[in-house]
A = this chain, B = another copy of it.
Amino acid sequence: MFFEGSEKKVEVIVRAGSVDLRTLGREFWSTVVQKANATILSVIQNDACDAYLLSESSLFVWRDRILMITCGVTALVDAVLHVLEHFDTDDLLFFCYQRKNEYIPSLQKSSFEEDIRKLQKHLPGKAYRLGSLDSHHYYLYHLEKEYQAQPEDTTSELLMYHIMGPTADFLRTPNQTADETRRRLQIETFLPGFQIDDYQFDPFGYSLNAIRGDRYATIHITPQSENSYVSFESNLDMEQEGSALFAHFVELLQPGSWDLMTFNCNPSLARVHATKRISFCELGLDCGFEIRYQHYQTRENTDIKAYKL
């Protein structure tokens, strides 16, 4: 019953005028998703973006950029290689491939090091690790090319571990509905005006894509008590909206520990109570992004029992 919630992620930005990524169409993106061993469950669209909900996480496609996030034992790197075959490297303005350390790395099809050996054949890049090897950490490989990000191009990832409390108990009860999960998460309140697409997995698990103009948010929940993991990621301006959003999720899901990974923003965490930061890393990438990785512990993990293998 083990399911790896920890995600792999890729973001690609192409040169304006080189290709409109949305025109490649669902069939193309369906093949890309299949290369990662995932499938498309559904799609929502607006003027700016196509948001695909996947069997393992999400794919967002804008005219000039894609963001793909996959969890489980998916092979995101193979999907990325398939995408790269269709583009001249000169047309890539920005490329960043990331992996959160997994709960059980030995179950993965490849290590981060193996992934970057494949990517390096196509793209000159640099790889980094943020955070400590003996605890939560984050790997990142990015194209070594100068790039000037737009001011509104910020990303925040809130990664929550060991959730507990009534909402966690609800999420761990089999056969919930997406409507009820969405209501419990208070999505309409905290993501006002967003078009929503969500899915309740059987027997557990929940995914949500949300888009409003060129803004996105996505939530993925693995509630199983031994290895619970909930991610919330968005390009909303978190210096404005993050404090309330992060406080909401941390209060609701009561994670034993949580990480915040930010690109070109530094949201206030003043409203998030009772936490102790145990790791912090900053990194300025050559491609113009300032990354901050922070790992917080909220309490003693009393829910971790000796586990019979």
Asked if A235 lies at the interface with its beta carbon under 8 angstroms from chain B, I say no
Closest to A282 in B: B306
Beta-carbon contact of A103 and B283 below 8 Å: no
- Which of B106, B126, B299 touches A308 (beta carbons < 8 Å)? B126
Interface flag for A84 (CB, 8 Å): no
Q: Which residue in chain B gives the minimum CB-CB distance to A129?
A: B307
A window 82-135: CB within 8 A of B: 101, 103-106, 111, 113, 116, 126-135
Q: Which listed residue, B129, B299, B302, touches A306 by the CB 8 Å rule? A: B129
Instruction: Write out, one digit per residue, whether chain A residues 134-161 have a CB within 8 A of any chain B CB (1) or not (0).
Output: 1110010000000000000000000001
Given A277-B300, A297-B297, A306 and B104 contact (CB-CB distance below 8 Å): no
The answer to whether A309 has its CB under 8 Å from any CB of chain B is yes
The quantity of this chain's copies bound in the complex is: 2
Cβ distance A111 to chain B, nearest Cβ, rounded Å: 5
- The answer to whether A302 touches B283 (Cβ under 8 A) is no
From B116, B135, B281, B305, give the contact of A305 (CB < 8 A).
Answer: B281
A280 to B54 CA separation, bound complex (whole angstroms)? 37
User: Is A278 close to B, CB under 8 A?
Assistant: yes
- Asked if A304 is at the interface (CB within 8 A of a chain B CB), the reply is yes
Indicate if A279 sits at the interface (CB-CB under 8 A): yes
Contact A227 B133 (CB under 8 A): yes
Whether, in the assembled complex, A226 has its beta carbon less than 8 Å from a beta carbon of chain B, the answer is yes
A306: B residues at CB distance < 8 A: 128-130, 281-283, 291, 293
A162 at the interface (CB under 8 A from B): yes
Chain B's closest residue to A126 (CB) is B308
Query: Interface residue count for A (Cβ, 8 Å)?
Result: 47
- B297 near A129: Cβ-Cβ < 8 Å: no
Which residues on B sit within 8 Å (CB–CB) of A111?
A: 106
Bound CA–CA A301/B133 (angstroms) = 12
- A130 cross-chain contacts in B, Cβ below 8 A: 306-307
Task: Say yes or no for A183: interface residue by CB 8 A criterion.
Answer: no
Q: Does A271 have its Cβ within 8 Å of any Cβ on chain B?
A: no
Determine whether the beta carbon of B278 is less than 8 Å from that of A300. yes
CA distance A144 to B304 in the complex (A): 23
**Residues of chain B contacted by A101 (CB below 8 angstroms):** 134
CA–CA, A309 and B111, complex, Å = 13
Select which of B133, B226, B293, B304 is within 8 A of A104 by beta carbon: B133
CA distance A302 to B281 in the complex (A): 8
Q: Report A184 CB to chain B, min CB distance, Å.
A: 24
CB contact between A309 and one of B105, B129, B305 (< 8 Å): that residue: B129
20 A-B residue pairs with Cβ-Cβ distance under 8 Å, sorted by A, are: A106-B111, A116-B309, A126-B308, A127-B308, A128-B306, A128-B308, A129-B307, A134-B227, A134-B257, A135-B135, A135-B136, A139-B309, A257-B278, A276-B297, A279-B300, A279-B301, A279-B304, A280-B301, A280-B302, A280-B304
